[in-house]
Amino acid sequence: MKTEEALAQRQWYVVDAQGKILGRMASEIAKVLRGKHKPIFTPNVDVGDFVIVVNARGVRLTGKKLEKKVYYRHTEYPGGIREKNAAKMLAEKPGELIRLAVKGMLPKNRLSRRLVTKLKIYPGPEHPHEAQKPQPLAIDA
């Protein structure tokens, strides 16, 4: 397994989320994280690339999802269920909104927990990964 991972050349991509629709953007990001855009794709090996998302505050949701979509979490205490709608989540933690969307599009296993660490999200236009020379990732919408 180590040899296949060593063969995978890791690229860095940057995505500008300003004005992009959340779900369409998240599906493209999940595809790149998983490595499905490469000819050496193997389902059980991490051959994906790194993705940097900038301007996370500018992501869009269609329809009435801003008011109606609800995110739940539990504090692990009895009666500790907490809920937050998408508008509040976008205002407080825009990166978490994108991370949850991408994580939901990855398979539910150990490999996906490692893949989601290659996703870097920043609310503003700056990011500290200039040394990796990220290339822009074209996402329509």
| pLDDT at residue 3 is higher than 80 | no
Residue 141 lies in a domain: no
Confidence (pLDDT) at 113: 93
Q: Share the mean pLDDT of the chain.
A: 93
* 104 contact partners, CB below 8 Å, separation of at least 6: 26
Confidence (pLDDT) at 140: 79
Where residue 9 falls among pLDDT bands split at 50, 70, 90?
confident
Confidence (pLDDT) at 66: 94
Confidence (pLDDT) at 111: 95
Residue 69 lies in a domain: no
Residue 72 lies in a domain: no
Counting the structural domains of the chain, the total is: 1
Residue 40 lies in a domain: yes
Provide the residue range defining the domain that includes 40: 2-62+93-136
Residue 114 lies in a domain: yes
| pLDDT at residue 87 is higher than 90 | yes
87-112 mean pLDDT: 96
> pLDDT per residue over 13-72, tens digit each?
999 999 999 999 999 999 999 999 999 999 999 999 999 999 999 999 999 999 999 999
CATH number, position 35: 3.90.1180.10
Where residue 82 falls among pLDDT bands split at 50, 70, 90?
very high
Residue 26 lies in a domain: yes
Residue 32 lies in a domain: yes
Residue 75 lies in a domain: no
Radius of gyration of the chain (CA): 16
Confidence (pLDDT) at 5: 63
| pLDDT at residue 1 is higher than 60 | no
Angle between helices 22-34 and 94-104 (to 10 degrees): 60
